[in-house]
Amino acid sequence: MAIYDFVRHMLAWSILAAVLGFVGFPWGMLTYKIWHGDKPIDEEFGEELLRRSWYYGWALGGIAIVFLFLDFFIINQFEIPAGPVHIVFYVCFLSVAGWWAMFFFSLEDFFQGLILAVIYLYLPTLVLYLLWWLIRWNPLFTYVLGWLIEPTA
C-alpha cells in the first residue's frame, strides 16, 4: 500500500538524518537558533549550546540505530506485517526525538521539543531528498532502506 511505503521512506530518511548527527551535531546549534527566532539567547546558555547539541546529536543517532535494528528484528522474528510496524516505529522515533530535544535543550514542553526535532531532522532531509531526486543515487539512504523490510499488500 502507498501509505506504508511512504512511512517506510520517511522512517528511512529520519534515521539517516539522525545518524548524520554524529558528524553534523553543530547543526543542532543552528536548529535551536532557527527555532528560537530573533530573541536573544541567554549568554550562559549560548556557551553551552554546542555541548548540548553534541549530546543531542549523538543520543539521537544512537537511538536511531536502535530503532532501525528493533524494526528489522521485530518484523523478521515475529513475522508481523511490516507496514504497521514501520508506522509505530516512526511515531515512536519522532516522539523520542521531540522528548530528547526538550530535555537536552531545556525547553518548556514536549511540543517545543517536537518542533525543534522536526527542524533538526527534516531540513537536512529536504536537501538530501532533493539531491537524491536529481541524481537518483544516495548510498546511505539505500543502505538504511535495505534494513527496512518492504511492506506487502
Spans of all domains in the chain: 2-147
Written as one string, the DSSP assignment of the chain is: -HHHHHHHHHHHHHHHHHHGGGT-TTHHHHHHHHHHTTSPPPHHHHHHHHHHHHHHHHHHHHHHHHHHHHHHHHHHHH---HHHHHHHHHHHHHHHHHHHHHHHTT-SSHHHHHHHHHHHHHHHHHHHHHHHHHH---HHHHHHHHHSPPP--
pLDDT at 153 (0 to 100) = 67
pLDDT at 61 (0 to 100) = 96
pLDDT at 25 (0 to 100) = 87
Reported pTM: 0.94
pLDDT at 152 (0 to 100) = 86
- With cell 506487502, the residue in question is 152
CA separation for the pair 26, 9 (Å, rounded): 25
pLDDT < 70 stretches in the chain: 153
pLDDT in tens, 114-148: 999 999 999 999 999 999 999 988 999 999 999 99
